[in-house]
Chains A and B, each alone.
Chain A
Amino acid sequence: EDKVVQSPLSLVVHEGDTVTLNCSYEVTNFRSLLWYKQEKKAPTFLFMLTSSGIEKKSGRLSSILDKKELFSILNITATQTGDSAIYLCALLRGSGSARQLTFGSGTQLTVLP
């Protein structure tokens, strides 16, 4: 059974701090790993990672995948209060028409002013 474990479960930092969120996984047929940000409502897409070692970057956020050690990290530099959210990691398994994502429980990030 596919498994996605995120750590820490919650994190409280001050504005300007840098944070690293972790996602480890087990999957039988890996296709890609995705990161989402969820505030009060819909999870919004951040990154999709398919290849090991290639960093994806968007502003102050970046993410990288290690397919050998089966984990990914999401970094946020110079955090702002607007970064407060739940960050979800999800696995997309390969094979055929399979399109279901398996999500972790998320990391609740709180950025204090």
Chain B
Amino acid sequence: DTGVSQNPRHKITKRGQNVTFRCDPISEHNRLYWYRQTLGQGPEFLTYFQNEAQLEKSRLLSDRFSAERPKGSFSTLEIQRTEQGDSAMYLCASSSPEINSPLHFGNGTRLTVT
């Protein structure tokens, strides 16, 4: 499967714990995005990388959230001191360098904070 891969698929954690998610984009894609989706809503943009550079961050991304893409390939999204409001589906997407290339999404990591 050469699509966007996300791990883990599901994560249940207790409030206050830290969690880390991983995303492996499509190999020739240099752009990588993180989105968050809650029930009944469309995905909301969190952050965007072009190669290893983090070029945009949403106001939604509090200081408890950090994302990295150290070698311009896979990315990690860490949430520190999780809160119940962090429960959501975290989607990763990637796109190629061409102008107006569409985003291709992974299957997401579903986070439940108890």
Q: Which residues of A contact B (CB under 8 A)?
A: 4, 31-32, 34, 36, 41-45, 48, 50, 88, 90, 92, 97-106
Q: Is B105 an interface residue (CB 8 A)?
A: yes
Q: Which residues of B contact A103 (CB under 8 A)?
A: 41-44
> 4 nearest interchain CB pairs?
A103-B42, A100-B45, A41-B107, A42-B105
Question: Closest residue of chain B to A40, judged by CB?
Answer: B107
* B26 on the A face (CB < 8 A): no
Separation of A24 and B58 alpha carbons in the complex (Å): 23
B25 CB within 8 Å of chain A:
no
Asked if residues A99 and B43 are in contact (CB atoms below 8 Å), the reply is no
Given contacts A88-B42, A100-B58, A105-B41, 14 further A-B contacts (CB under 8 A): A31-B100, A34-B103, A42-B4, A42-B91, A42-B105, A42-B108, A48-B100, A50-B100, A99-B50, A100-B45, A100-B48, A100-B56, A101-B45, A103-B41
- How far is B100's CA from A71's CA once the two chains are assembled, in angstroms? 19
Q: How large is the interface on B (under 10, 10 to 19, 20 to 34, 35 or more residues)?
A: 20 to 34
B42 and A106 contact, CB distance less than 8 A:
yes
With A88-B42, A105-B40 given, is the CB distance from A100 to B102 under 8 Å? no
Which interface residue of A48, A92, A101, A104 has the most chain B CB atoms within 10 A? A101
C-beta contact mask, B10-22 vs A, less than 8 Å → 1, else 0?
A: 0000000000000
Contact A99 B48 (CB under 8 A): yes
Which residues of B lie under 8 Å from residue A44 when comparing CB positions? Answer: 105
Q: List residues of B (43-92) whose CB comes within 8 Å of A's CBs.
A: 43-45, 48, 50, 55-56, 58, 91
User: Nearest chain A CB to B21's CB is how many angstroms away?
Assistant: 14
In the complex, what's the smallest C-beta–C-beta distance from A61 to chain B, in angstroms? 15
Q: Can you name 19 A-B residue pairings with CB atoms under 8 Å?
A: A31-B100, A36-B105, A42-B3, A42-B108, A45-B103, A45-B104, A48-B100, A48-B102, A50-B100, A88-B42, A88-B43, A99-B48, A99-B55, A100-B33, A100-B56, A101-B43, A101-B45, A103-B41, A105-B40
